[in-house]
Each structure stands twice: as C-alpha cells, then as structure tokens.
Structure 1
Amino acid sequence: MTTSIAERARELTGLRRPFVHATVVRAQAPTSAQPGDDAVILDDGSIEGFVGGVCAESSVRAAALGTLRDGATLLLRVLPDGSAEFPEAPGALVVVNPCLSGGAIEIFLRPVLPRPLLGVAGTGTPIGAAVAELAAFLDFEVTAPGERASAVVVAGLGRDEERAIRDALEAGVPFIALIASRTRGAAVLDGMGLTEAERARVHPHAGIDIGARTPKEIALSVLSEIVRNIRQEGAAPGHEAGGGIGREAAGRAASGAAGRAAGGHAAGAAVPRQAVDPVCGMTVVVGADTPHAVVDGVEHWFCCVGCRDRFAAA
C-alpha cells in the first residue's frame, strides 16, 4: 500500500469499518493509472485514493461493493470498448468500459472485513473459558457481552444469567446462547417475563446435539450452532458487512447481511444504491457526486459528465 492508504486502512480497521483495498496491478497506455496506485473503497461506495480516471473509478466502486457482499477477492479487468475480451477465469471480472481513452487496466480488489464479535458471560467457568478459547481459534473477537455482537454465550452456570440475558437483549444481540439443561433453561426464561420476540432470540440448552460432555465438547457444540446461525440465517447485528468465521469466510457470511457487521462500526452504512448508465451501460454507484439528469420526471445516473451531456443532447 502507499503510505497514506496504509494509514487510512489501519484507521478503518481500528474502527471496525469494512472496506476494500484496490491496487492497480497492470495498466496499458493510454491510461492515467500506474501499477501500484491504490485506494480504499468504503461500504458506502465512497473512494479514497487513485486507481484511474472517473470512468475506471466507477467500475471499481461497483465491483468493490460486490466483494464486500461475498467477501471474496477479485481481479477486475477494465477494457476499452471494442477490445478483445480476456478469457473467463475464476476470480476475475471483465468490464468493457466505452468511456475509457483506449487503455486497459487490471485492479486487484481485496475486501477487509471486521472479525465478528462474540460476547461471553461467565469466562470464569470451565465452559465459558472453553468457549472463549475456541471462539478465538475460529477467528471471532471475544469480548464482554454488549452492543454489536453477533452472538452472546451465557455460561455463568447459575450466576447472573438473567442479568446477562437482559443486557444482551437490550443491546440488540440477535442470538443468545444459554448454557443450561433443558429444565433449568426453561425455568430461567419463564421467570424473566420475556416477550415472544425476546424469547425467540434466547436459545436455552444451546448447542448442536453431539453428545457433548466435557467443557471443550460443549463449547464446540455451542459454537457450531452459532456459526450455523450466522452462515445460514445471517445473524449479525449491526454488522456492517462484516464478520466471519475465519476472516474471509466469516466475512462472506456477515457481508451477506450487507451492512450490519458482526460487531462492525456503528449501525449506519446503508447499502449504496446502484444504477445503470443509459448511455454506456455501466453500473454506477449513486452518490452526491454522481452525475445525473432528470428527463420527463425520471432520474438517470451516469458514470461521467460526458455520458450525461450526450444523453441530454439526444
């Protein structure tokens, strides 16, 4: 990374803000970008840095948002109109951009997604300690129960369970795993006066039935259910595109929920709107600086002012 982009990437990582690092790996004249030029694209579609002119940038922004959704790296090949296409290859996306000045450019896109947060109440118990240890191995960020967690495990074994459950519910945690027998788990919830919606978020006697007996086996059972819930049901509160069991993999799971990162930055970054330029056919990210025009009451968005002016003239 260039120095300024590297500093920005560190800042975004510290903020748990999902972003994509884009690096120019090949450029064919005439083009304004050079190999090594780089930028970061945030989850709101904004870009910081330089990877080419406005037309190439539009293609990069649209493709980058796609990588945040699936968590996979991507080689983006932006070719001028009329250029012979590269053969299809796994992990590569070819975009024909009629706005380019004639050169071609290849840009490597790497999504950087925050690790999912897992709250653990009761780390002083053998089961709680085992959950925290295994969760760290699975690439969760283990923390005290609180806001922005993908899940909370309550392993107090009779100590302060009701308070831990209530705190997690008030923090908006979507999946709360209570370590308890079926009988005691039901008794705990029955005595809390939970609403139907609240009770649906609490899983008494948590874990997949694998015949677990030891603390480590119980931890494996519980975390298996949490991983399944994140992957299959997209449970990741406030997660702004993030999270994932095994950085990239969990990123795929969390990003799929688009914008609510398993413990990502404050809930907020809405999924950016995209539109198709009616002149060149490019997909563009709609933002405050995106050229647009209103014709007969219909809004149209463009990759650059050139396409907008041609559309208006026609």
Structure 2
Amino acid sequence: MTLIAERVRELTGARQPFVHATVVRAQAPTSAMPGDDAVILADGSIEGFVGGVCAETSVRAAALDTLRDGNTMLLRVLPDGAASFPDAPGAQVVVNPCLSGGAIEIFLRPMLPRPLIGVAGATTPIGAAVVTLAGFLDLEITEPMAYAGASAVVVAGLGRDDEQVIRAALDAGVPLISLVASRTRGAAVLDSLGLTAEERARVRPHAGIDIGARTHQEIALSVLAEIVRELRASSPEPVAAAPTRTAIDPICGMTVVIGEGTPHAVVDGVEHWFCCAGCRDRFVAAS
C-alpha cells in the first residue's frame, strides 16, 4: 500500500474530510506524471505530489471548493498561452502564469465523512434490518449511546429503554430521532419525557414513510427513507471549512490561497503574497 493510500485509509477511519487528488494526464515538461496523487486537508495543507509549487496553488484553491460543495471536479491546469488538452466538457480550466510549461489534468474527489447513524436495539429484527440496509446506503453506524455528531438515531428497542435512549440522543444534539413504535405508544413515550417544544420536534414518534410496510425489512426501509429525505432536505455545507483568504501574486498575477506556508513578504509596511518563493524573491529584489 502506498503512503497516500494509507493516509486516505487513515483519514477516512478518523472521519476527517479531505480531497483525494489524482493526476490523470500530464504534458511535458511538467514534473507530475499520471497516477501521482495527494490528499488536501480542510486547512489547505497538501500531502503527496500532484505537481510543483505553482501547480499546488491551483490545486489547493480548487480542492477547497470541492470540500464546500461536495462535488467532484476535473481540474485542468495550463501554463499561460499554452495549447490546451482536447476539449473535455465539465472540466474547470485555470491558467497558471507561473507554471513552467506543460499542462496537467487532475481529478479531485472530495472525501466527506459518511452520515453517522445511531441504532438502539440493533439486535431486534427491525434494528438488525436497519443496520443491514444502512450499510447498503453508505451510512455509518455509531456505537450504542455514543450519539455525539450523529445525523439521526433510530430507536428500535421495542420498549426496552426507549426513554433513556431518546433522552441521550436529545442531549447529544441529534437533530432527528426515529422511534419505531405505534402512534399510540409513541405519543405516550414522548408525553412521559416532558420534552420542550424544540425537543419534541426532533423526535418522530411513529418513524418512517408510509409505504404499507409489513416485514421487518420493509419497516427498516421506510424508517431510513425518512431519514435520507430529511438529510437531503437540510442540505448543509458538506464541510464548514475555514473561510479562504486569497491574494494576487504581484509578479505572475496568480490568485493564491493564503495559508500558513504561503510565501509572503512585507515591503514598505505592506504584506504581499506569492505563489512560490521564486516570485517572492524576484519581488523583494526589485523593491
């Protein structure tokens, strides 16, 4: 396993958002080769190799955009005045005046943590069906009663500690709690908890979309369908990344993302930011 592949596995296991960038095509004399890859974290840091420092500047800016909207991107980085690759609809093209020749196409895939779902009563027939179907839907199941950060909790204990589970999920800030129960029993459970109006609005006392479900698997389908519908309706930003600060390199005219490692210089009390150390040194020498 390559170092980047291992890093991808590690970040995925830690539920950290990142972008996996892979060089698809490259034209000489660029230093990147097809198959080179890297990960870009939410703070803009890059681990791996997808081209030199100037190419990284373009990749960093585009990768942070994909983290915000969750969409994949084919990024085409061209030097100023270079002949382009054959047309590829849907590609985002950036002209990088500082690129030392050649051209690169890089596929950017945002890797966002899977929605986290709690299931109380996972050993009941309905709970077990929810767990199985959740895996098919690429939802991640959290440990029992460890509900912090969960998008939803399914309460399928069928009367076993339902009130305790609901209270724990509410206290953990879970926005959607799906109680598998009849309408009569669900209302009784909620009444016994003495919930506020805000808390009660987060609980579905008779979980699921009405599809005429009869079997355990069909009930699980109806419950998860409701959860998926509400997850999609809320449509939050995939990653609440820190606001991106940018500046124009006064030498080459590139837009650069300002970060901890971005080359910069202070001249006559004014800060200037650069795509690479070479542009910075030229600017300082001419000042």
Taking structure 1 as the reference length, the TM-score comes to 0.78
Higher normalized contact order (CA 8 Å, seq sep 6+, divided by chain length):
1
Q: 1:33 maps to which residue?
A: 32
Distance 1:48 1:125 in 2: 44
Q: 2:178 maps to which residue?
A: 177
Residue 97 of structure 1 deviates from its aligned partner by 0.7
- Trace 1:95-174 onto structure 2 (pairs within 5 A): 95-143=94-142, 144-146=144-146, 147-174=148-175
| Residue identity in the other structure for 2:52 | G
Distance 1:311 1:197 in 2: 58
Q: 1:271 maps to which residue?
A: 242
CA contact (8 A) 1:258 1:271 kept: no
Question: Which among 262, 266, 272 is matched to residue 290 of structure 1?
Answer: 262
Q: Any idea what the Cα deviations from partners look like across 1:101-151, whole Å, max 9, x if unmatched?
A: 222122222333333221100123222222112112212122334222221
Q: Secondary structure of 2:193's partner?
A: coil
Taking structure 2 as the reference length, the TM-score comes to 0.85
- Trace 1:126-275 onto structure 2 (pairs within 5 A): 126-143=125-142, 144-146=144-146, 147-234=148-235, 256-259=237-240, 270-275=241-246
| Residue identity in the other structure for 1:41 | I
Distance 1:195 1:302 in 2: 54
Distance 1:182 1:53 in 2: 62
Q: Any idea what the Cα deviations from partners look like across 1:188-224, whole Å, max 9, x if unmatched?
A: 2222122333222222212222232332222111111
Structure number with greater Rg is 2
Q: 2:55 maps to which residue?
A: 56
Q: Percent identity, please.
A: 76
Stretches of structure 1 that go unaligned for 5 or more consecutive residues are: 236-255, 260-269
Q: 1:21 maps to which residue?
A: 20
Distance 1:195 1:310 in 2: 64
Point out the more displaced range, 88-97 or 53-62. 88-97
Distance 1:298 1:198 in 2: 52
Q: Output the aligned Cα RMSD.
A: 2.8
CA contact (8 A) 1:145 1:152 kept: no
Total equivalences in the alignment? 283
Stretches of structure 2 that go unaligned for 5 or more consecutive residues are: none
Quick one: structure 1 residues 284 and 272, their matched pair in 2 at CA, closer, same or farther if it must change by over 3 Å?
farther
CA contact (8 A) 1:28 1:104 kept: yes
Distance 1:300 1:191 in 2: 63
Distance 2:34 2:130 in 1: 45
Quick one: structure 1 residues 167 and 282, their matched pair in 2 at CA, closer, same or farther if it must change by over 3 Å?
farther
Quick one: structure 1 residues 194 and 26, their matched pair in 2 at CA, closer, same or farther if it must change by over 3 Å?
same
Q: Any idea what the Cα deviations from partners look like across 1:44-100, whole Å, max 9, x if unmatched?
A: 211111222221001111112233334443322100112244465344221111111
Quick one: structure 1 residues 216 and 39, their matched pair in 2 at CA, closer, same or farther if it must change by over 3 Å?
same
Residue 159 of structure 1 deviates from its aligned partner by 1.6
